[in-house]
Amino acid sequence: MSLRQLLMRLPCYLGALGPLRRPWWFLSAVGSSRGQSTRSPTHWNQVVSEAEKIVGYPTSFMSLRCLLSDELSNIAMQVRKLVGTQHPLLTTARGFVHESRHNLQLRGLVVLLISKAAGPSNMDTACQNYDMVSGIYSCQRSLAEITELIHTALLVHRGIVNLSELQSSDGPLKDMQFGNKIAILSGDFLLANACNGLALLQNTKVVELLSSALMDLVQGVYHENSTSTKENGITDDIGISTWKEQTFLSHGALLAKSCQAAMELAKHGAEVQSTAFRYGKHVAMSHKIHSDLQPFLKEKAGDSMTFNLNSAPVVLHQEFLGRDLWMKQIREAQEKGRLNYAKLRETIKAGKGVTSAIDLCRYHGNKALEALESFPPSEARSALENIVFAVTRFS
């Protein structure tokens, strides 16, 4: 079977697993921190659709060369063997091939938009050998693809199961072991392609930036995992300052440093690079907080009842209460040795954590907008602003 045939059939193979759990960056928000411009699109899909027109072509095609490789075709065939198991790699795979309308490669899109918003510098002779399409150098488009490959590899690697914590409901041990092997193999393959792409850019500073971003990701994920105990997922008292540091490493560093690298490829100076870095950092933080808030803002009680106890609303709620009262609420929410997330969710909603997280999301959104003020007015800048508006609105 060819890769194209496999990709066409894979949504059907995976459809039996139930509704698709959308990626963290799929957002559909309403409400604004600075007020909505009359030109700002209302819905997230519209924001991204209009942004993709500005940069020249849909970013969903950026990784096509990697997807059409024989190596990934073989991996996709192996992933098919996991259908019917509970391995989380399947959820990740479905996010890439099922409902592709919502499979938006946001990081790459932001890199392209900020590249166009900044435009070429007065010292861009190093890039003059590259083709420019829609105001963006081909080297910057390659960087956007590399950024997406690194992020996708991280998503795949995050799907590795801790075999020491398996329960009988998770499925046979051999299935989980096989799924882990495929997750490691496919994630490493994507990282190898990203490293090869970085080398082809022939810019040592860009290589250093993206390499350090990758190390930040690894460090951030390690800290996220180490702040949870095995029993009921009860988190350590990390505090909001520590949460910000860890979240930047695991969710913000890649986008921030990729935006800076895009400026370096166009030979912009340190000031412009710093501005792009700030936008990438703060918009990524806003996205993460917006995602963390979704389980507490949905009206239907059955929606996303489980949530991460390291998420921003929970950490802020815990900080307001103090450790002793927080542990008391945890104990009160436990039933038969398991945490009742529905009960704990309502307890957290009654406190100050949710409203404080909304304020924090808007704070980072405003910081991102402030960074954009350094760029001249343009369609690309407006699209970057609309991305901020879309993730700082709440009903």
Amino acid residing at 20: L
User: Residues 22-34: what's their mean pLDDT?
Assistant: 32
Question: H/E element holding 307?
Answer: none
Does residue 305 or residue 23 have the better pLDDT?
A: 305
Helix (H, G, I), strand (E, B) or coil at 18: coil
pLDDT at 248: 93
CATH number at residue 279: 1.10.600.10
- For residue range 335-387, what is the model confidence (pLDDT) as tens digits? 877 888 888 999 999 999 999 999 999 999 999 999 999 999 999 999 999 99
Q: How far is residue 55's CA from residue 45's CA, in Å, rounded to a whole number?
A: 16
Does residue 109 or residue 223 have the better pLDDT?
A: 109
Has residue 71 got a pLDDT over 90? Answer: no
pLDDT at 105: 67
Query: How does the average pLDDT of the chain come out, rounded?
Result: 75
Question: H/E element holding 135?
Answer: none
Least reliable range by pLDDT among 57-66, 132-141, 242-251, 311-320 = 57-66
Q: What is the DSSP string of 226-264?
A: HTB-SSTTPBP--HHHHHHHHHIIIIIHHHHHHHHHHHH
Cβ–Cβ under 8 Å, residues 114 and 262: yes
User: Residues 56-80: what's their mean pLDDT?
Assistant: 54
Q: How confident is the model at residue 286 (pLDDT cuts 50, 70, 90)?
A: very high
pLDDT at 338: 81
User: Residues 127-149: what's their mean pLDDT?
Assistant: 81
pLDDT at 155: 79
3-state secondary structure labels for all residues of 254-298: HHHHHHHHHHHHCCCCHHHHHHHHHHHHHHHHHHHHHHHHHHHHC
pLDDT at 54: 85
Alpha-carbon torsion 236, 240, 245, 248, what sign? positive
Q: How far is residue 388's CA from residue 364's CA, in Å, rounded to a whole number?
A: 9
- Give, as one character, the DSSP assignment of residue 198: H
Question: H/E element holding 133?
Answer: strand 132-133
Does residue 226 or residue 160 have the better pLDDT?
A: 160
Owner of token pair 């039933």:
335
| Rounded percentage of the chain residues whose pLDDT exceeds 90 | 34
Q: How far is residue 82's CA from residue 393's CA, in Å, rounded to a whole number?
A: 38
Domain tally, the chain? 1
Q: How confident is the model at residue 275 (pLDDT cuts 50, 70, 90)?
A: very high
pLDDT at 314: 94
Q: Which of 174, 7, 21 is nearest to 91 (CA)?
A: 21
Does residue 330 or residue 8 have the better pLDDT?
A: 330
- Structure token digits, residue 18: 């139930």
Q: What is the DSSP string of 310-378?
A: TSHHHHHHHHHH-HHHHHHHHHHTEETTEE-HHHHHHHHHTSSHHHHHHHHHHHHHHHHHHHHTTSPP-
Amino acid residing at 269: G
- For residue range 175-222, what is the model confidence (pLDDT) as tens digits? 777 777 777 877 888 888 888 889 999 999 999 999 999 888 878 776
Cβ–Cβ under 8 Å, residues 283 and 273: no
pTM of this prediction?
0.78
- Structure token digits, residue 74: 């073989």
Q: Which residues on neighbouring strands pair with residue 339, listed in sequence order?
A: 334
pLDDT at 243: 92
Q: How confident is the model at residue 87 (pLDDT cuts 50, 70, 90)?
A: low
Domain extent at residue 46: 3-122+130-392
Distance set, CA 109 to CA 69, 147, 182 (Å): 23, 10, 28
